[in-house]
Every structure is written in structure tokens, then in C-alpha cells.
């Protein structure tokens, strides 16, 4: 109910004359920048104060750690590649034994996922620490029983040592601790862009075409769902007004109420193909399909081009990641299993 | 013929009293350090003067580039993981469509491969630039026809631009240029260790147990094949004296003369499982199996432990690799193909 009200309010707001600056208008419509102020950013990304440098460094190792998969060759980074906008560039992932995702679900980006209100396309997970438990255990993804993950990590003394450094000597290196540490690393994957500079008051951070694009983006109603810091990350009914063009691919219907998570638009030029089933490769086509299904309107080619110009400005600066050296296996480390 | 003479000479040398220092003795037996002197190192790693910072940076991107594979999810780094000693930790790799290597060949480390006299287990490739063409095209590895690799890269203007910066505006971004650039990056993957410091004159770089291990390593005859800068990298008959314990796994018989490449011992604690078919997981067992098959002797558990102590000191410092941001695909980029 609340959501519907918000949508309605946004749509009204976007169609009335707005007296303030474009940046102020954007903020009044729920668009929020990544804060410049470190404390403010921390409030958003680390509300429970779990982030420490030791945990981030360890979480990074685990993020790139293929031994968390049954086969030993699939890591978080395989499908959420930090060099490819945090995705795999495929409509839907294949995982262990080359099995395709049974719901034909597209691997969403991990960049800025910390700003999402919930995780997974159906929003079933409350946060990154919980989310990390899913793909690791899923048969068509990393296919690792939790016990295998725990056994692999605990068989490597250098890892256990790092967990002690990160959490204290009494730490139990169990599955929730391992996956939480990955979540903590993911909390740092934030990509500020020129768009943020603009919302943070630097008027010339966007050029005129990009500003016009932002204006059209709001006027057309895109910000009704693509808002907040992530320009997405909340649950919305999908499709809302007209059927989705590729509804026949995969059997994903969202949660019980047909709700689907709104994907972030940050770095959107890097995260094709689009939609939960990765069926649309062109950003322009994706914009128009959204107009049709969610807003019940045909967005003209001209307006679409303007919106796309704006969307390109959401490409952010990625944090520098030094590729981690992973500690070596020992005689007791469970062997890779390709079956 | 020449090789057999060298082996015989080494075996003799190792059994007679040597007047000089242990480091001098090691060098007299063909063991060579990674040079400290930059010019000397360049002579070894870049004899043709092809390395430039632009090519290394581009080669690094291509090394981590999964779009060089047909599926778009397998990169050089998948099987030669720079965080895992340059290997995948599996007996034999699986690749495209989860197909296992038909010869059950173990993925060799890419670290220090620049010091090998030839590439691949059967030594069929003369250098890294040539080697890189193999796995990319092999059906059970990356499964990319050369034309697909060329089309993918040329469809991404940011890549073409980088090739121009690396080779000049007239560069033809063809398959040999793409793979050569990966080879150029790989030339920089050199891992100096305490062992090198020792051979370079720092006597206390190895502790007494490690020095004793080196002594036993030489006395037992290991340096007959594991010599040069790589402690390996030349072609040798295998098995030489007794049959190999796991000869029934895979059908790899070396080249026409039964020659198999001697793997490097650098970072050997990180590159299990051992042998061309990855059948031995324990380093001690590998040492003893080598003694049996190649030297025709049983190396005692005590001597084996000493040798292993020395081998651990071959773990080197890996170059720091900043994980690359890869340029985004365009509308004309050939799509991932999982079939």
C-alpha cells in the first residue's frame, strides 16, 4: 500500500513544475547520491558497525576463493565479476556441471548492492551477509554443502588465523561467519559517479545532455521505482501494467505477490543483458520495455536516447581491488569434486 | 644425447666433495637465481624487447578476460589462477561445457613459465606468446575459434584503442597480436624467493634446515632435471627408469620421444596436485615417486622431509596485480554461447 502511494506521489511530483534546481528536484523525487561525507556513507553501508579492514581483506579473499565451490573452480567473482560491472554478461549463469540457472535468472551486479533494501530478484534475503549463503549452496551454482565450505576453510590454518585476526581468538569459523565476511567485503563495493557529484552540489559534473536526460528520466516516471541511492533495490510489482515481452523465458514470477526487485541503474551500461531473465541486450530497448510494462506508455526514441545519455553518467568509479593471494590447501583440505 | 651427458655429469658432481660454498655448488649444478639486476632479468624475460607498460596492462586485462572464451565465463585465470599459485588446484581442468581435459592433463602454473625452454607438457610450443593460442581455441578449454576472439575484441572500441596505444595506430588486432599480448603480460609473472636471495649471495636467507634440504636435493640428483632459473622447464624422458605409478590415468605419453616437460619447483607447495596428470597430492610422495621413476632410487622419508623443507623455501613473492576493469561490450559484441 505504502509503495503504491509513493509511486503515485512520484508520478505527480514529476509532472508538476519544480521551482528549485534540477539536483533539488531529483532529491525531492527520492534520488539520493552516495554521500561524500565518510560518516554519512558509513551509516548507509555499515549500520551495524561490522566493517573492519581485516574483515574486508579476508572477505575479499573469500569472494575470489574458488575452493568455496564444490568443484574448486567457481568463486563469487565468476558470476559477479568485479571487472565486468559485477556481473557475468550472460542472460543467465551456468554453474556447477555447466547446469543453467533453472529459473533462467540473470546474475545481478554486486556493486552498490549494499544499498538494496533486500537481496535476490525475489527479495527473499534481508542483506548481503545472508545472501552470500545462497549461491554457494545452490546445486546449479557453486554446489557446496555448508559443511564442505566449513571443512575447506578450517583445513587451511592461514585462513583460520585470518578469521582470528578479524573476529578475535574465540571465533568459530562456521558457515554464517564465512558468508558474513563476504558480505562485509561486498559492503565496500560502492561506485561514486559524476551523477553523485552533481547531486552533491557540483552543478557542472553532468553536461547539458545528461541533465536533460535526468529531467526526462524523472518526467517519464522512471524514478518512481529507480530511486534511493541505488536507483533501485526495492521490491515492485512486475509487470505492473502490460505483460513483459519475454515472460515466457524462465518461470520466475517474483515473490508470492509477484514482486520483483528493481535492479540498480548504477553502471547499467556494464550490466547487460537486462531484466531478471536477461533477455534484453539493448539499454534503449530495456528503457522502452520498462515504459510499456511498468508505466503503460510508449517512450519515444528521442526521449529514450536522452534517458540513455543520463544512464551512461551513472557509471561509477570502482574501488581498486588488489587480486588476493589465497592461502594454500593442506593435506586435509577436501579435494575438488567436479561431479 | 647431450641431455643424458648433462644428467650423468650432474649426478657425478653431486656425489663428490665440493670445495666452495653451498650457493656456489648449487650454481655449478645449473641452479640459477632470478637475477636481482634488472637488466639481467630483462635479458631472461624479455630477450626480444617486446615488454612495455601499455602491453603488460592490456595483456593483464586479456588474461582476466572471460569474453575470450566461447561462453564468456572462462578466462586464462580460471585454470591458471594468479591467487592460487597460477594453477587451478585440480588434477585436470574442466572447461567449456564442463568437459574434462581429454588427456587428463594438469594445468601447469603460469608463474615463472617465462623461464621455461618450451611450453605445454609436451613442449610443443616455443614461448608464451604462442602457448596462449592453444587453450583459447581448444574445445574442452575456452572453446573459442580464433575468429570469435578477434570479433569480440574488435567489437569493443576501448580495447582497440588500447591496442593502438600499445602497438601504434596501424596495429592489426588479430589473433596473434591478442595472444602475444597475453604472453607479454605473463613474462612479468616472476616470483623471487628467499632461495634467490641465497643464491644471490645472502647466506642467511635460508635457514640451516633449508640449506641442508638444498644439499640433499642436489646430492639425490633432483637438480639433474630441476635446474636453471625455473628449477624445471626443459624436456626430459619420463618415466626414465621405472614406470610411473599413475601411468594409467590419461593417455599422455609426452612428445614422440616420450619427452615430458619438467615442471618448475617454484611455489611448488601451491601447485598440488602433482605430475602431468595431477595424480599425486602430497609433495613428499611426489618427491619419492620422482626418485623412483627418474633416479631409480628410494629416497628415504628423512631425506624426503629435508628436500620438502627446501622446496618450501621456493615460495616466492607474487607481483601485485590490481584486478582490471574490463571495457564494456557493445551492440556488435558476439554474445556468450554456452553450447
- Per-residue pLDDT of B57-116, as tens digits, reads 999 999 999 999 999 999 999 999 999 999 999 999 999 999 998 889 999 999 999 999
Whole-number pLDDT of residue B304: 98
Residues B196 and B178 both lie in one domain: no
Average pLDDT, chain A: 94
Cβ of A90 and B98 within 8 Å?
Answer: no
- Per-residue pLDDT of B260-282, as tens digits, reads 999 999 999 999 999 999 999 99
Whole-number pLDDT of residue A13: 47
Host H or E run for residue B235? strand B235-237
Residues B213 and B160 both lie in one domain: no
Whole-number pLDDT of residue B19: 61
> Is the pLDDT at A36 greater than 70, yes or no?
yes
Residues A35 and A51 both lie in one domain: no
> Is the pLDDT at A303 greater than 90, yes or no?
yes
> Is the pLDDT at B9 greater than 60, yes or no?
no
C-alpha A189/C-alpha A322 separation (Å) is 13
Residues B137 and B204 both lie in one domain: no
DSSP state of B292: I
Mean of pLDDT values over A77-82: 98
Answer whether residue B114 is part of any domain.
yes
Confidence of residue A101 (pLDDT cuts 50, 70, 90): confident
Residue B322 with chain A: CB contacts under 8 Å: 320-323
Mean of pLDDT values over B223-245: 96
> Is the pLDDT at B13 greater than 50, yes or no?
no
Residues B153 and B245 both lie in one domain: no
- Per-residue pLDDT of A14-23, as tens digits, reads 444 556 799 9
Whole-number pLDDT of residue A19: 61
Cβ of A98 and B338 within 8 Å?
Answer: yes
- Per-residue pLDDT of B147-195, as tens digits, reads 999 999 999 999 999 999 999 999 999 999 999 999 999 999 999 999 9
Residues A62 and A120 both lie in one domain: yes
- Per-residue pLDDT of A136-146, as tens digits, reads 999 999 999 99
Q: Cα A140 from chain centroid? A: 20
- Active-site entry in A65, A129, A141, A210: A141
Mean of pLDDT values over A208-220: 98
Closest CA to B199 of B45, B39, B35: B35
Which residue from A minimizes the CA distance to B67? A89
Task: Pick A270's closest partner by Cβ from B67, B94, B328.
Answer: B328
Which residues in A have their CB inside 8 Å of a CB on B? Answer: 61, 64, 66-67, 71-73, 78-79, 81-85, 88-91, 93-94, 97-98, 100, 269-270, 272, 281-282, 318, 320-326, 328-329, 331, 335-336, 338
Residues B178 and B195 both lie in one domain: no
Residues A235 and A176 both lie in one domain: no
Of B131, B154, B186, the domain-final residue? B186
Query: What is the count of structural domains for chain B?
Result: 2
Confidence of residue B5 (pLDDT cuts 50, 70, 90): low
> Is the pLDDT at B3 greater than 70, yes or no?
no
> Is the pLDDT at A314 greater than 60, yes or no?
yes
> Active-site residues of B: which are they?
141
Answer whether residue B328 is part of any domain.
no
Residues B72 and B180 both lie in one domain: yes
Answer whether residue B327 is part of any domain.
no
| B75-94 burial code (b ≥16 CB/10 A, e <16) | bbbbbbbbbbbbbbbbbbbb
C-alpha B212/C-alpha A286 separation (Å) is 67
> Is the pLDDT at A7 greater than 80, yes or no?
no
Answer whether residue A326 is part of any domain.
no
Please compute, for residue B39, the number of CA atoms within 13 A of its CA located in the half-sphere on the CB side. 0
Cβ of A73 and B90 within 8 Å?
Answer: yes
Burial degree of A267 (CB within 10 A; 0-12, 13-18, 19+): buried
Residues B168 and B78 both lie in one domain: yes
Whole-number pLDDT of residue B15: 47
Answer whether residue A323 is part of any domain.
no
Answer whether residue B99 is part of any domain.
yes
> Is the pLDDT at A10 greater than 90, yes or no?
no
Which residue segment(s) compose the domain that B195 sits in? 2-37+191-312
Whole-number pLDDT of residue B253: 83
Answer whether residue A281 is part of any domain.
yes
ipTM above 0.85, yes or no: yes
Report the CATH number at residue A168.
1.10.760.10
Whole-number pLDDT of residue A256: 84
Q: What grid cell was written down for A244?
A: 513483459
The residue with greater pLDDT, A248 or A65, is: A65
Whole-number pLDDT of residue A14: 47
A186 counts as catalytic: no
Specify whether the backbone of A225 is left (phi greater than 0), alpha (psi in -120 to 50) or beta: alpha
% of residues, chain A, pLDDT over 90: 90
Task: Pick A72's closest partner by Cβ from B89, B322, B324.
Answer: B89
Confidence of residue B20 (pLDDT cuts 50, 70, 90): confident
Whole-number pLDDT of residue B18: 58
Of B186, B216, B234, the domain-final residue? B186
Answer whether residue B336 is part of any domain.
no
Residues A67 and A21 both lie in one domain: no
Confidence of residue A1 (pLDDT cuts 50, 70, 90): very low
Mean of pLDDT values over B139-153: 97
C-alpha B234/C-alpha B218 separation (Å) is 17
Residues A176 and A205 both lie in one domain: no
Amino acid at each position: 500500500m505504502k509503495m503504491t502511494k509513493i509511486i503515485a506521489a512520484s508520478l505527480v511530483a514529476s509532472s508538476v513544475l519544480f521551482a528549485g534546481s534540477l539536483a533539488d528536484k531529483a532529491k525531492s523525487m527520492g534520488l539520493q547520491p552516495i554521500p561524500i561525507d565518510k560518516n554519512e556513507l558509513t551509516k548507509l553501508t555499515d549500520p551495524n558497525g561490522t566493517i573492519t579492514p581485516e574483515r574486508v581483506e579476508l572477505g575479499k579473499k573469500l569472494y575470489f576463493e574458488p575452493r568455496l565451490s564444490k568443484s574448486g573452480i567457481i568463486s563469487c567473482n565468476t558470476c559477479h565479476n568485479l571487472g565486468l560491472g559485477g556481473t557475468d554478461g550472460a542472460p543467465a549463469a551456468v554453474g556447477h556441471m555447466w547446469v543453467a540457472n533453472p529459473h533462467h535468472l540473470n546474475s545481478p551486479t554486486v556493486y552498490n548492492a549494499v544499498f538494496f533494501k533486500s537481496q535476490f530478484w525475489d527479495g527473499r534475503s534481508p542483506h548481503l551477509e545472508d545472501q552470500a549463503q545462497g549461491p554457494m549452496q545452490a546445486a546449479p551454482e557453486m554446489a557446496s554443502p555448508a559443511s564442505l565450505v566449513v571443512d575447506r576453510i578450517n583445513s587451511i590454518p592461514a585462513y583460520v588465523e585470518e578469521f582470528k585476526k578479524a573476529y578475535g581468538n574465540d571465533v568459530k569459523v562456521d558457515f554464517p561467519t564465512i558468508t558474513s565476511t563476504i558480505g562485509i567485503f561486498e559492503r565496500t563495493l560502492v561506485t561514486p559517479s559524476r551523477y553523485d557529484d552533481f547531486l552533491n552540489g557540483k552543478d557542472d559534473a553532468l553536461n547539458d545532455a545528461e541533465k536533460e536526460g535526468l529531467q526526462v528520466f524523472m518526467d517519464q516516471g522512471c524514478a518512481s521505482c529507480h530511486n534511493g541511492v541505488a536507483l533501485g533495490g526495492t521490491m515492485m510489482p512486475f509487470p505492473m501494467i502490460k505483460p513483459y515481452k519475454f515472460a515466457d523465458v524462465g518461470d520466475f514470477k517474483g515473490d508470492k505477490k509477484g514482486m520483483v526487485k528493481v535492479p540498480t541503474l548504477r553502471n547499467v551500461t556494464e550490466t547487460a543483458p537486462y531484466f531478471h531473465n536477461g533477455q534484453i541486450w539493448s539499454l534503449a530497448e530495456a528503457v522502452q520495455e520498462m515504459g510499456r510494462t511498468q508505466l503503460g506508455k510508449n517512450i519515444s526514441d528521442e526521449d529514450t536516447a536522452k534517458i540513455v545519455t543520463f544512464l551512461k553518467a551513472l557509471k561509477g568509479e570502482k574501488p581498486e581491488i588488489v587480486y588476493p593471494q589465497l592461502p594454500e590447501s593442506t593435506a586435509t583440505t577436501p579435494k575438488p569434486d567436479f561431479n
